[in-house]
């Protein structure tokens, strides 16, 4: 894997932003190493020969470097994976009078991980043409649930400290970011009489839940007569209440189009009820994003039109808000087309990149970052906000299928990983997945111990 000068420039910006200190990265080909220079003085070398890796052909297991004797102060971990290395040649770190050599090419690993080179030619996709977490190198080597890029950046920071303890680094603080995909704004408001009757029969005859059948029928009738507060998916105010209680704000991603009848809902945002909801979200200073329909993830014209439609709806409601953030429906993504489609729609941020089947740190980080396109050799105008976890991943029988108790433990563990590196725990919880006490309890538990 070759990193261009443009790629190194991008990495310099990444490190400088994370550390809050000017960082230079220089490839020294003749010496088979990469030099990281801090404030034009502190030097860390990343040697490429001793533990050589071809990151474009990663396979098999990887060794973990046990660094408990290094006396690092900014990480609680005692070991870290060395992706691509099955049997390491030690020492991993060598200390010299004025410099430090790390005998592992962390810089190239970070580049490989953040650019998602691993996924571009992946042929083992699911029925929605998505990359699967369980097929990833990180999952197979037991580090998908660790923000491996962020951990390595902290270890490099530790090494810099050893040579220059007077340096003042930027402090990155943990942040919780709740987000909600609005596939269906309401459960009953848009339902046809046929759909209502089918649901009634299904509960009454198939599931033998007689009380639920009549309650749902009564509820749907009342809602269609105008008592919209009874609709179980109309929980926007409550979601905002919880976010505000913990000094954060939610992002609501609204879908505006049905491009696939099997996977998109029948959406109509041009009505008084949606108008009031969107106005409340805006008034309370929460964010509104576009949730492109099922077929829009790789269709430049369709994604542009859907973004334009949502913008026009907001404008018609008197909402002075530019749509700048997106997340694809079903977390569909194609590295060949999705970035072009997002840029064409004048979107700046996207939060699609998370694994539906496993959750975890797909990009190896829980920090927002500007994407670099390895194959087009340029920085894109899109910042990725990695999605760490989705509620469907926890509960769906197609994915982890966890109990509520196990889900709470899973959430706590992955949230703590974000905390340890001062990152962002950005999670997705659909408004349509809060239908009982246990689901609400699990949702609210995410906000504990902030």
Q: Is pLDDT above 60 for 223?
A: yes
- Are residue 228 and residue 238 in the same domain, yes or no? no
pLDDT band at 211 (very low <50, low <70, confident <90, very high): low
Contacts of residues 237-242 at CB distance under 8 Å and 24 or more positions apart, as own/partner, are 237/280, 239/178, 239/180, 239/431, 240/280, 240/281, 240/284, 240/286, 242/178, 242/443, 242/444, 242/447
Q: What is the pLDDT of residues 8-22, one digit of tens each?
A: 999 999 999 999 999
pLDDT of 312 > 90? The answer is yes
Is residue 303 domain-shared with residue 439, that is, in the same domain?
yes
Note the pTM of the prediction, 2 decimals. 0.94
The verdict on residue 450 lying in a domain is no
Using alpha carbons, list the distances in angstroms from residue 433 to 205, 300, 394, 439.
24, 30, 11, 7
SS3 content of the chain, % helix, strand, coil (to 5): 40, 15, 45
**Is the model more confident about 212 or about 23?**
23
Shared-domain flag, residues 157 and 46: yes
The pLDDT, as a whole number, for residue 213 is: 63
Statement: residue 197 has pLDDT above 70: no
- Pairing between strand 175-182 and 251-254? parallel
**Domain count across the chain:** 3
Mean pLDDT of 407-414: 98
Quick one: 252 and 400 in the same domain?
yes
Which domain CATH number covers 425?
Answer: 3.20.20.370
Mean pLDDT of 251-259: 97
Please tell me the distance from the alpha carbon of residue 143 to that of residue 335, in angstroms, as a whole number: 23
Given this model, what pLDDT does residue 265 score? 86
- 199 has a pLDDT exceeding 70: no
Please check whether residues 246 and 215 belong to one and the same domain: no
Say what the alpha-carbon torsion angle 315, 321, 327, 329 is, to the nearest 10 degrees: -20
Q: Does 372 or 190 have the greater pLDDT score?
A: 372
169 assigned to some structural domain: no
pLDDT, tens digit (0-9, with 9 covering 90-100), for 64-108: 999 988 888 878 899 999 999 999 999 999 999 989 999 999 999
Q: State how far Cα 97 lies from the chain centre.
A: 41
What is the pLDDT, as a whole number, of residue 212?
A: 61
Mean pLDDT taken over the chain: 93
Q: Establish if 31 belongs to a structural domain.
A: yes
234 close to 269: Cβ distance less than 8 angstroms: no
Residues 311 and 253 in one domain: yes
Within-domain flag for 321 = yes
In a shared domain, residues 212 and 241: no
Judge whether 202 lies within some domain: yes
Query: Are residue 293 and residue 396 in the same domain, yes or no?
Result: yes
Shared-domain flag, residues 241 and 255? yes
Query: Is residue 168 assigned to a domain?
Result: no
341 and 375: one domain?
Answer: yes
In a domain, 170, yes or no: no
Q: Which of residues 137 and 226 earns the better pLDDT score? A: 137
pLDDT interval class at 266 (50, 70, 90): confident
Print burial letters for 334-361: b (CB count within 10 Å at least 16), e (below 16).
bbeebbbbbeebebebbbbbbbbbbbbb
Q: What is the pLDDT of residues 132-166, one digit of tens each?
A: 999 999 999 999 999 999 999 999 999 999 999 98
pLDDT in the model for residue 201: 67
On whether both 95 and 110 belong to a single domain, the answer is yes
pLDDT at residue 218 in the model: 64
The whole-number pLDDT of residue 50 equals 93
Is the pLDDT reported for residue 209 higher than 80? no
Q: Quick one: tokens of 414?
A: 């992955």
Structure tokens at 370: 């500007």
For residues 153 and 256, membership in a common domain is answered with: no
Q: What percent of the chain is predicted at pLDDT more than 70?
A: 92
pLDDT band at 267, cuts 50/70/90? confident
* Residue 107, domain extent: 5-163
């Amino acid at each position: 894997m070759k990193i261009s000068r443009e790629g190194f420039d991008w990495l310099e910006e990444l490190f400088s932003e994370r550390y809050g200190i000017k960082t230079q990265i220089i490839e020294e080909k003749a010496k088979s190493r990469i030099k990281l220079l801090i404030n034009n003085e502190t030097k860390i070398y990343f040697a490429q020969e001793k533990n050589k890796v071809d990151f474009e052909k990663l396979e098999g297991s990887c060794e973990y470097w046990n660094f408990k004797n290094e006396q690092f102060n900014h990480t609680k971990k005692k070991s870290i994976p060395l992706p691509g290395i099955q049997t390491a040649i030690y020492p991993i770190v060598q200390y010299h009078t004025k410099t430090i050599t790390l005998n592992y090419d962390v810089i190239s690993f970070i580049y490989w991980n953040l650019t998602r080179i691993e996924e571009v030619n992946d042929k083992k996709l699911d029925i929605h043409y998505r990359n699967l977490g369980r097929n990833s190198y990180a999952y197979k080597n037991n580090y998908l649930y660790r923000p491996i890029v962020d951990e390595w950046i902290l270890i490099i920071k530790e090494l810099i400290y050893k040579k220059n303890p007077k340096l003042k680094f930027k402090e990155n603080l943990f942040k919780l970011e709740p987000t909600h995909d609005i596939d269906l704004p309401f459960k009953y408001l848009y339902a046809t009489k046929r759909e209502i009757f089918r649901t009634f029969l299904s509960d009454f005859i198939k599931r033998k839940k007689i009380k639920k059948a009549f309650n749902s029928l009564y509820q749907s009738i009342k809602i269609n007569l105008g008592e919209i507060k009874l609709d179980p998916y109309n929980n926007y105010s409550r979601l905002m209440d919880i976010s505000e209680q913990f000094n954060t704000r939610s992002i609501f991603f609204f879908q505006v189009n049905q491009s696939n009848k099997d996977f998109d809902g029948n959406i109509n945002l041009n009505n008084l009820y949606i108008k009031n909801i969107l106005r409340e979200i805006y008034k309370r200073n929460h964010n509104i994003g576009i949730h492109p329909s099922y077929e829009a993830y790789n269709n430049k014209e369709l994604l542009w039109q859907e973004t334009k439609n949502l913008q026009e709806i907001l404008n018609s409601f008197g909402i002075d808000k530019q749509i700048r953030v997106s997340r694809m429906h079903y977390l569909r993504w194609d590295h060949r087309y999705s970035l072009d489609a997002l840029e064409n729609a004048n979107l700046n941020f996207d939060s699609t990149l998370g694994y539906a089947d496993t959750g975890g740190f797909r990009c190896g980080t829980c920090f927002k970052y500007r994407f670099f396109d390895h194959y087009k050799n340029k920085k894109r105008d899109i910042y990725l906000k990695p999605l760490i976890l989705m509620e469907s991943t926890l509960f769906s029988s197609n994915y982890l299928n966890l109990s509520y108790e196990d889900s709470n433990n899973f959430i706590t563990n992955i949230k703590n990983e974000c905390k340890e590196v001062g990152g962002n725990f950005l999670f997705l919880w659909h408004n349509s997945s809060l239908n009982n006490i246990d689901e609400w309890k699990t949702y609210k538990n995410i906000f504990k111990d902030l």
